[in-house]
Amino acid sequence: MIRSDGRRPDELREVKITLDYIKHAEGSCLIEFGDTRVICTASVEEKVPPFLKGSGQGWITAEYSMIPRATVQRTVRESAKGRLTGRTQEIQRLIGRSLRSSVDLLALGEITIWIDCDVIQADGGTRTASITGAFVALYRALQKIDKLSAVKNFVAAVSVGIVDGEYLLDLNYEEDSIAEVDMNIVMNDRGEFIEIQGTAEGKPFSRNDLDRLLALGEAGIKQLFEKQKKVLGVEE
């Protein structure tokens, strides 16, 4: 089976990471999963949220947004609506949890790392591209403030799904919008799971479907770790 963009079912889109994309940020990159493009920045703040004051522990928090015309139809700005959609909040929480799992917060000390993922063009997989790029920005920021020792492992994410009964890796928007099952997988580079979110969009899925999707995702994420390490100059 050949996908509409010519890929094999188990093939990632072309992944590009442009390091240090934003000059003001301690860490930043532009990450591209095919036509999906996300600016990821990591900003260091010398204080922690109230619930951590005096704990000696740091914090990592994430925000996610899309520019209005990142999408096929222009979407209304959340700043104009005056509140975040549920979708945005879900994604922000997912990115934050995923990154926190990769860092020893005590080793950070009492600082906050603000992760910002701003989607400038969307073609499916914005949340997985965001996690994968945000880790790069985070790593870069920790390098700059000399806290790389706090990094426990790399983190990357990919989507998998079932479309017309086929198991597909890294769905683009067209595939995503007709998928029967949609799953986001976040892993670390020790082969462990950080987060699994699988949703039956149209049709429930069996245990066998789940196994097939997990295998596909694991293989894809391995390639993302290679990309991250290469751009950051980390030897595997």
Per the annotation, where are the binding residues? 87, 125-127
Name which of 22 and 163 has its Cβ closer to a copy of itself: 22
Per CB under 8 A, the list member of 12, 15, 17, 22 interacting with a copy of itself is 22
Q: In the structure encoding, which two tokens stand for residue 2, read together? A: 């050949």
Q: Are 168 and 215 in contact, with CB atoms under 8 Å apart?
A: no
CA dist 212 and 167 (Å) reads: 7
C-alpha–C-alpha distance, residues 193 and 187, integer Å: 4
Interface with a copy of itself: number of residues (CB under 8 A):
61
Tokens of 148: 């790389």
Closest among 164, 199, 219 to 90, alpha carbons compared? 199
120 near a copy of itself, rule: CB under 8 A: yes
Binding test (CB under 8 A) with a copy of itself, winner from 32, 118, 170, 176: 118
- What's the CA gap between 160 and 113, in Å, rounded? 29
Question: Residue 193 CB, nearest distance to a copy of itself (Å)?
Answer: 5
Our measurement of the distance from residue 43's CA atom to the centroid of its chain's CA atoms, rounded to an integer in Å, reads 17
**5 near a copy of itself, judged by CB under 8 A:** no
Given candidates 43, 57, 143, 223, which one binds a copy of itself under the rule CB under 8 A? 43
- Strand pairing category for 59-66 and 112-121: parallel
The yes or no reply on residue 126 touching a copy of itself (CB under 8 A) is no
80 near a copy of itself (CB under 8 A): yes
Q: Which residues lie near a copy of itself (CB under 8 A)?
A: 22-25, 28, 35, 39, 41, 43, 45, 63, 65, 67-72, 74, 77-90, 92-93, 97, 101, 114, 116, 118, 120-121, 187-188, 190-200, 204-207, 210, 214
